[in-house]
Amino acid sequence: MPRLRYWQPSDLPDLQRMSNIATWEITPADDKAHTTLEQVAANAQQNLMAMLQSKFGTAIVADEGGQPVGFLLVGLQENDKTGQPHGYMADIYVEPAFRRQGLAQAMHAAAEDYLRSIGIGKAANWTHAHNPLGQSSSLRHGFQLWGLMLSKELPSSLS
């Protein structure tokens, strides 16, 4: 089984590649119809770098022989009601050949250990409604429904 560690700058090309794949995989078909792989990748890169460069932001990396084969982004966010910081687990990805081996669970446990080590006792993540695998994974890792974001298509105005 790959070993877990914190990300290193030399991991960045692999993290970017995996982030691009993960983000495209969870992009709903209706959103894909209005964008390109390149635009989604650019947004994924921006989110990845923002998280890694944020205070206490890091990535848990699954490493097989010096090669990253998975990652989980983790950082801090403020609770929008109380202003108190809580952990935030963002993008997660495991290379197909390494799936179903417990890596996601191990990375979640490592991320929780990291958050506890910096004095954080609560974590959240955001999972798209069109990502049932992400939802079931979050529930398996002990997350509970905390909020619900809804969207609506606005009809064009008739002038």
**Count of CB atoms within 10 A of residue 20's CB?**
20
In the chain, what are the domain boundaries? 3-140
All residues at 6 or more sequence positions from 51 whose CB lies less than 8 Å from its CB, including other chains:
57, 59, 73, 75, 90, 91
Q: Give the C-alpha separation, 60 to 52, whole Å.
A: 11
Q: Give the C-alpha separation, 156 to 137, whole Å.
A: 37
Q: What is the pLDDT of residue 102?
A: 93
CATH 3.40.50.620 fits domain 3-140: no
Residues of the chain short of pLDDT 70, as ranges, are: 158-159
Strand segments, DSSP code E, in 15-66 are 58-64
Q: What is the pLDDT of residue 159?
A: 56
Nearest to 45 by CA among 15, 68, 65, 66: 15
- Please give the model's pTM, rounded to 2 decimal places: 0.86
